[in-house]
Amino acid sequence: MNEKKTWDLISLASIPLIMTLGNSMLIPVLPIMEKQLKITSLQVSLLITIYSIVAIILIPIAGFLSDEYGRKKIIIPSLIISGIGGLVSGFASMFLENPYYLILLGRLLQGIGASGAAPIVLPLIGDMFKTEEEVSNGLGIIETSNTFGKVLSPILGALLAAVVWYLPFFSIPVFSLISLLLVAFLVKTPKRKQAPLKLKEFIAETKKIFKNQGKFLFGVFSIGIIIMFVLFAVLFYLSNTLEDQYKIFGIKKGLLLAIPLVSLSISSFVTGKKIGKNQTTMKWITLLGMLLSGITMFAITLVDSLITILFILFINGVGVGATLPSLDALITESIKKQERGTITAIYSSMRFIGVAAGPPIAAMLMKTSEKFVFYTMAGFSFAAVILIFITLHPIGKQRKKEVT
């Protein structure tokens, strides 16, 4: 990969990093916000939920628009909207006596911005790079950036909130501006070789894709939901347990939360560089990653030591991290460039379902039994293994004919 493409990739990798920070950075700050705003725990949770719900709804629309008008023409305005959302929430917090609903509006705008920025990166990687090795390497870096944002979020959020509780809101327009400038000046998108499809033609083509590859797409979408569901459910459990059971707060808590995400980030990066162009290899890496996830989830039910639990979660992060770039590469390489934006956007939207569902379901399960949380997560991981066997085989020749 030449130097020019390296800077393109660095610029694009800033988008998922910033969008992840924009949401996950608030998680360690929510208890402080609840006290400062004098609101209920349900109301404060909506600051996270509204971001995810908006993304679930709008990501597919953004994907279609990026196919129709071009990737950068959607990404840049979306970064502007995200930055405006941070300013609305920040200034409302600073100047208003009862700012909750304006903060919620700002979070909604951030969700809109995230919907049109981060998910468009996946198809743009597929557009920009010619060889499958370059695509898989690029997707691995994007996933690593995404995960690094999750690693950094609890630490950075706690640090900023230590200065003043609403400072994380003001960090969003700063980060968004940096990413906007990088994308605007350093990312060169390839020229279209074909005119975009009209809406009627696009709908017909999309139906054809789901008819021909419905089994495969169902599998990839479902596995993507399960991965993020398990990840965020476990992080929610760990966050609460560190405070309630072990009385660990602040930066120390953020560092411990980052442990499984560090291994996930490293695993994503290495896998993205090594999987190459062999779709069968991608399938088996995904299968082994989810099998490892299921085994580690079950293993946690057999131990009580915090150190042992953190070690097992570190190993779990290796498995989960390996699956993410493999799934990204599978779906990106299996769809025509003309429809890639919409299909990968639907995939990103499905992953947000897992993000949104993980914490509340984990909270309900914890009321029954902490071990039941991990029995359930193990069950979903093993279900993903079965889905991989059923839906991701065979991978190569038939779909490649449909893509070319």
The C-alpha atoms of residue 3 and residue 9 are separated, in whole angstroms, by 10
Q: Please give the DSSP secondary-structure letter assigned to residue 40.
A: -
Q: What is the structure's pLDDT at 147?
A: 75
- Average pLDDT (355-361) is 80
- Average pLDDT (363-381) is 90
Q: What is the pLDDT of residues 203-256, one digit of tens each?
A: 777 788 888 888 899 999 999 999 999 998 888 788 778 877 888 877 888 788
The C-alpha atoms of residue 395 and residue 45 are separated, in whole angstroms, by 40
The C-alpha atoms of residue 328 and residue 330 are separated, in whole angstroms, by 6
Q: What is the structure's pLDDT at 316?
A: 96
Q: Which amino acid appears at position 205 of this protein?
A: E
Q: What is the structure's pLDDT at 142?
A: 83
Q: Which amino acid appears at position 308 of this protein?
A: T
3-185+199-403 has which fold? Growth Hormone; Chain: A; (1.20.1250)
Q: What is the pLDDT of residues 164-208, one digit of tens each?
A: 999 999 999 999 999 999 999 888 877 765 666 666 776 777 788
Confidence at 323, pLDDT banded by 50, 70, 90: very high
Q: What is the pLDDT of residues 51-107, one digit of tens each?
A: 888 888 888 788 778 877 888 899 999 999 999 999 999 999 999 989 999 999 999
The C-alpha atoms of residue 343 and residue 177 are separated, in whole angstroms, by 28
The C-alpha atoms of residue 14 and residue 333 are separated, in whole angstroms, by 23
- Average pLDDT (344-352) is 80
Length of the chain: 404
Encode burial over 108-137: b for 16+ CB neighbours within 10 A, e otherwise.
Answer: bbbbbbbbbbbbbbbbbbbbbbeebebbbb
User: 140, 271 in Cβ contact below 8 A?
Assistant: yes
Residue % of the chain over a pLDDT of 90: 32
Domain positions in the chain? 3-185+199-403
Q: Please give the DSSP secondary-structure letter assigned to residue 275.
A: -
